[in-house]
């Protein structure tokens, strides 16, 4: 295995790991508010 192939594999793993962390953060990020389960109005009043 040559050095350029090892570099490409390592870079791919780093990118995939970063995408995984971003995806987990995005899915776990809560939107402000109650989420609509409490019976409050979901429409914004201007």
14 vs 31, residue with greater confidence: 14
How far apart (Å, rounded) are the C-alpha atoms in residues 28 and 21?
A: 11
Boundaries of every domain in the chain: 1-26
pLDDT digits (tens, 9 = 90+) for 3-23: 999 999 999 999 999 999 999
d(CA 40, CA 24): 29
Mean pLDDT of the chain: 81
pLDDT level of residue 35 (50, 70, 90 thresholds) = low
pLDDT surpassing 70 at residue 41: no
Cα angle for residues 35, 37, 42 (degrees, 5° grid) = 55
pTM: 0.59
DSSP labels, the chain = --HHHHHHHHHHHHHHHHHHHHHHHHHHPPPSS--S-SS---SPP-
């Amino acid at each position: 295995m040559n050095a350029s192939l090892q570099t490409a594999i390592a870079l791919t793993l780093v990118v995939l790991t970063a995408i995984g962390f971003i995806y987990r953060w995005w899915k776990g990020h809560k939107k402000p508010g109650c989420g609509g389960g409490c019976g409050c109005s979901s429409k914004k009043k201007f």
